[in-house]
Amino acid sequence: MSNVQLPRADLSRINNALGNLELLQVQLGNTVNQVVNVTDATRGDLLRLAAEFEEFRRLNELAKNLQFAQTKIIRVNQELETQFGHHATVRRHATGILQALDVGVVTQETMYGASEELMLSTPRYWLAPGLVALAAWIGNDRRLAETALAEALRRDGDKTTLFYALTLRRYGRGAAANRWLDQYLARQDPWSMSGELTTVLDAMATGALGVETKPLVRRSMDTWFEQMSDDREIVENQVQRWARLLDGGRGGPEPSMSILPQVSPTWPQLQDLFQRATVHRNAYDRFTRLFAGPAHQDPDLRGRVDRILDNLVTNFDDEERPLRREARHLQLVIDHNGDDRAAAQAENDEAPAQEDTVDFLTLVTNAAFFPEQVGASHSTQLLTVAMAKDWVVQADGRLEADALRAMPSGVDLALEGWTGRVDGQATEQSLATSLAGHIDRETEQSLRGVSLPGAALICGVIGALFLFFGILAAVNGSPGGLIFCLLVALGCGGYTFYAAGQLPRQRELIRQQGELRRSRALATLKGAIAEVHDWQQVWQREMAFARHFQQFIGRLDRDAYSAAPPDQRREVML
């Protein structure tokens, strides 16, 4: 009996240990699942908090930048008013004197007094002695007129020359205006021109030049244009600049896609390509609106000249430029709601329009794209766009070619651990077959992994051992040992058979989950392929505007945007 009792104690301990081990295994599994769930939730919360914090930090930075710019621009404008407010006073008097002369309601003594007072209050400003000379000319005081004129020419020869050319043109003194303008044009270097040449472009575009003067200006501009067009580097700079300016016009509603952003690693590239494509439609819309209808011209010659004179005298002098540039920078920050990067990009794009001197081709681009910054009229903008048409067409063509080169050979897809590519070689059926095969293989792999758990296997072994010990107890004539061994063997065997009976159900559940997974994945794949084709159609529609835009710009003729003077038209009619 002693040989039988010893195994009973050992087997009892083994049975208890197995029971405890199975309980611990279940508890450990539950704990691991809880930890995994908590970890996933915590990771999601941390990512969401990080995104919220980054968004808060960005908005806070934008708000601070905006507040700083709004505060500082007030100080800069006050400083401009303090240091150069008297310049504005002189500017207001310029056309005021001319218009007062038209109606004859101001005495010569008043004009003298006003112009001399301005001369005393603005000792370095070119326009002050220019107005003194103008008042002396009106009063037929030749000595004073020549003295004041010499001082104005010394302070700024180009602006003074243009001022008197336009003033003489205003009163129909064509020959005299022609001599002044001839002197101005002879002084110009097409590789280094100041901003007041925009005034000459204005005069030609609006028809403010007379019969004697317009051909002279046209010949000079044609000569400059042809000379500089031979310089490949300068022309290339203009083409590149137009490409940057046009590319800066990206924007517009993106195609509504719900599946591709979730399953395609290529989606960021597709987004960028679509933004590139919107450039052509936006440029087409912008320039067709610009050229829609005739330019509105004042039929009165004096009204045209007065507006050009306003642009000339309101162009800021060199002393004002640093503060004006700072004010412009702050205004761009305000316009972009505190976004320093966007403001810096906008400032960089219009930087050539803020330079003291530029080459003639750059000046044409400035007037065409930044008319407000350089004081160009709508008519001048039309003229300069027509002059720059070859650069614009080349620039848009480069953007079109770059976008075509950047088009990926296919759209990558990644879902359910499967990767594929939508391209010219793959069909929807082949991709669906590949995806379904991938999911079926993973399902089969999961099915092969279905087997008896370790506890059931151990129980089966233990049941077999106790059955053997029961046989030994029966042989040795121990009914108590036989009953005990049979009960243990029956319990362990029953658990093992129960676990084995669950295997078909587990396999069936895995098959059902695999079929559902395959069905959903194939539906997602079909939707993604459809969205790829939809995206291609929308992209191609946008890209088609490249050809429309290039054809529209290419048909422009600059001769059509150089107006004839009102008085010249009357002479022709007579």
**pLDDT tens sequence across 92-122:** 677 777 777 766 666 667 776 777 777 766 7
For the question of whether the overall pTM of this predicted structure is more than 0.75, the answer is no
Count of CA atoms in the C-beta half-sphere (13 A) of 238: 30
In this predicted structure, which of 340-354, 373-387, 404-418, 455-469 has the lowest mean pLDDT?
340-354
Measured between alpha carbons, how far is 195 from 473 in angstroms, rounded to an integer? 117
Residue 325, pLDDT > 90, answer: no
Highest mean pLDDT among 209-223, 268-282, 324-338: 268-282
pLDDT (tens digit per residue) in 33-85? 566 556 656 766 676 777 677 777 777 777 877 777 777 777 766 666 555 55
User: Residue 566 has what pLDDT?
Assistant: 59
Cβ contact 327:215 at 8 Å: no
Highest mean pLDDT among 333-337, 430-434, 482-486: 430-434
Handedness of CA 279, 280, 285, 288 (dihedral sign): positive
Q: What is the DSSP letter of 486?
A: H
Residue 391, token pair as written in the block = 């650069």
DSSP code per residue over 145-173: HHHHHHHHHHH-HHHHHHHHHHHHHHTT-
Residue 247, pLDDT > 90, answer: yes
User: Residue 33 has what pLDDT?
Assistant: 53
Q: Within 10 A of 404 (CB to CB), how many other CB atoms are there? A: 12
For 357, the enclosing helix (H) or strand (E) is strand 357-358
Residue 1, pLDDT > 80, answer: no
Measured between alpha carbons, how far is 210 from 303 in angstroms, rounded to an integer? 14
Q: How many helices and strands, by DSSP H and E, does the chain display? A: 23, 4
User: Of residues 5 and 97, which shows the higher confidence score?
Assistant: 97
Residue 3 banded pLDDT, cuts 50, 70, 90 = very low
User: Of residues 33 and 230, which shows the higher confidence score?
Assistant: 230
Beta bridge partners of 573: none
Residues in the chain: 574
Provide mean pLDDT across the span 218-237. 89
Residue 27 banded pLDDT, cuts 50, 70, 90 = low
Measured between alpha carbons, how far is 384 from 290 in angstroms, rounded to an integer? 12
